[in-house]
Structure 1
Amino acid sequence: MTIKENILEILDDIKKYSPNPEKVKLVAVTKYVDSDTIKEVLKTGVNILGENKVQVIEEKRKELPENEYDIKWHFIGNLQKNKVKYIASYIDMVHSINKLSLAEEIDKRAKSHNRKIDVLLEINISEEESKEGYILKELLEDIPKLLKLENINICGLMTMAPFEEDEEKIRTIFRNLRLLKEKWNKEYFNGQLKELSMGMSQDYKIALEEGATLIRVGSKIYK
């Protein structure tokens, strides 16, 4: 199948599996593909690109006609504080806020560019040692400080499910993130948490059923 056919299939799945398909956006993960391949993605109308390395975004930005495709760059990996300065002027969303110091650095750099950057709080719901993300207890302690930062817009939550066969375990993790979003919207965020970034190539259908609004899909697009 072509990239276009694969993307059309994913877009059909969004309509089929999501209770609110109009709220769902496809993030095309481009970390393993070159700029010519990315152009094939952009030609389909999908313009949100997800990368997990600052240097790679910088290189690809030079190679892609950004104005022609209205590219929106989402940072989806573990972001080092000392790299924030390179992307603060243009990044559209950071999916992976996993510590207060990172949020503070993004806030500072956004302010220097007179911007407000959309961010998601990454939560390690399954508490796997191999996964990045906040442990719930630590995040609860940081929420009051996070809410004081004026140049980031905390607009949702993100998680990664474990790589395993048990679909019910995966579903439970996604469901728990959605329930957390609903709870925190009432308790802390006054309804500002709109986004749920969850689901990748192998499990995005389950994520959609559980309320994902951002699915991060890579290999399924290019296979």
Structure 2
Amino acid sequence: MTEHANRPSAGTTSTIEEHIVRVRRRLEQALAAAGRAPDAARLLAVSKTQPAAALRAAHEAGQCAFGENYLQEALEKQQALADLDPEWHFIGGIQSNKTREIAEHFDWAHTVDREKIARRLNDQRPASRAPLNICLQVNVDRETGKAGTDFEALPALAESVLTLPGLSLRGLMAIPAASEDRDTQRRAFQRLAEALTRLQERFPEAPLDTLSMGMSADLEAAVLEGATLVRIGSAIFGPRTTS
């Protein structure tokens, strides 16, 4: 990765900054419409396939949390942006051969959906780092072949994860089936929010404060149902870069 590739052009910086301002305004308006505090949800910039230069521009515009789907790509960006020390979230699928580097290099993992992966992340989390913040991914629409645990298995999985000292179970994450209908969007997010409430009641000592849900097309519906982290990509960075 060249030095030039790590430096955004003035035009790129301006565009990303303008996009972040618009997305943050949209988030603020959604929170106000939901009767929630202005800081009740925060923005996670989904930066997969984007060059390190774009992330640097976003960071310069005040964005500090980035979500990455592809491990090797993310590790390269982390090295290129080591001087910035942003908050790194892994939001892609987690296979066993990825757990060590996720445990070593990320602050959050959003897509834990089985005990085996949780235990590997716990065992491989460096003692020098704070516990890895995790969300349990739920298949809210019971889509065949889609990642995520089901609602029935969720309490047992949460109970297992809460015994692992290298992890901090923060909440739930979902990617509902795509829909343009606002009521359909809200129902899916409501199911996830209700599941989190049940976990909070069952495990009152756990730091269960996070609903990672909502993307560019359904941000408003997610915020209405209690999202605390919204994952926004193209509305910030524009179309994905492909190699």
| 2:222 maps to 1:211 | no
Alignment of 1:37-76 (within 5 A): 37-64=54-81, 66-67=82-83, 69-76=84-91
Counterpart residue type for residue 79 of structure 1 = I
Whole-angstrom CA distance in 1 between matches of 2:54 and 2:108: 22
Shift of 1:112: 4.9
Structure 2 vs 1, CA of residues 59 and 123 (structure 1 numbering), >3 Å: closer, same or farther?
same
| 2:45 maps to 1:32 | no
Alignment of 1:109-120 (within 5 A): 109-113=124-128, 115-120=130-135
Give the structure 2 partner of residue 123 of structure 1. 138
1:136 is paired with a residue whose SS is: coil
Whole-angstrom CA distance in 2 between matches of 1:212 and 1:141: 23
| 2:164 maps to 1:149 | yes
Whole-angstrom CA distance in 2 between matches of 1:190 and 1:62: 36
Structure 2 vs 1, CA of residues 111 and 39 (structure 1 numbering), >3 Å: closer, same or farther?
closer
Give the structure 2 partner of residue 177 of structure 1. 192
Shift of 1:109: 0.7
Shift of 1:91: 0.7
Q: Structure 2 regions of 5+ residues with no counterpart?
A: 1-13, 239-243
Q: Deviations over 1:175-223 (max 9, x none)?
A: 1211221221011243521111001111112111211111110011123
Structure 2 vs 1, CA of residues 119 and 168 (structure 1 numbering), >3 Å: closer, same or farther?
same
Whole-angstrom CA distance in 1 between matches of 2:127 and 2:99: 12
Over the residues paired in the alignment, what is the CA RMSD in angstroms? 1.7
| 2:165 maps to 1:186 | no
Shift of 1:141: 3.0
Shift of 1:139: 2.2
| 2:25 maps to 1:8 | no
Give the structure 2 partner of residue 135 of structure 1. 150
> Is the Cα contact below 8 Å between 2:103 and 2:122 reproduced in 1?
no
Structure 2 vs 1, CA of residues 130 and 2 (structure 1 numbering), >3 Å: closer, same or farther?
farther
Counterpart residue type for residue 119 of structure 1 = I
Q: Could you list the runs of 4 or more consecutive aligned residues of structure 1 that deviate by over 6 angstroms after TM superposition?
A: none
> Is the Cα contact below 8 Å between 1:52 and 1:78 reproduced in 2?
yes
Give the structure 2 partner of residue 100 of structure 1. 115
Counterpart residue type for residue 124 of structure 1 = N
* 1:199 aligned to which of 214, 237, 240: 214
1:26 is paired with a residue whose SS is: strand
> Is the Cα contact below 8 Å between 1:80 and 1:102 reproduced in 2?
yes
> Is the Cα contact below 8 Å between 2:151 and 2:195 reproduced in 1?
no
Shift of 1:114: 5.1
If the length of structure 2 is used for normalisation, what is the TM-score? 0.85
Q: Structure 1 regions of 5+ residues with no counterpart?
A: none
Whole-angstrom CA distance in 1 between matches of 2:65 and 2:129: 22
Alignment of 1:81-92 (within 5 A): 81-92=96-107
Whole-angstrom CA distance in 2 between matches of 1:14 and 1:5: 14
Aligned length: 221
Shift of 1:53: 1.4
Give the structure 1 partner of residue 241 of structure 2. none
If the length of structure 1 is used for normalisation, what is the TM-score? 0.92
Q: Deviations over 1:46-78 (max 9, x none)?
A: 0111001111111111222x33x3311100011
Identity %: 29
Q: Deviations over 1:90-117 (max 9, x none)?
A: 3110011111100000110115555411
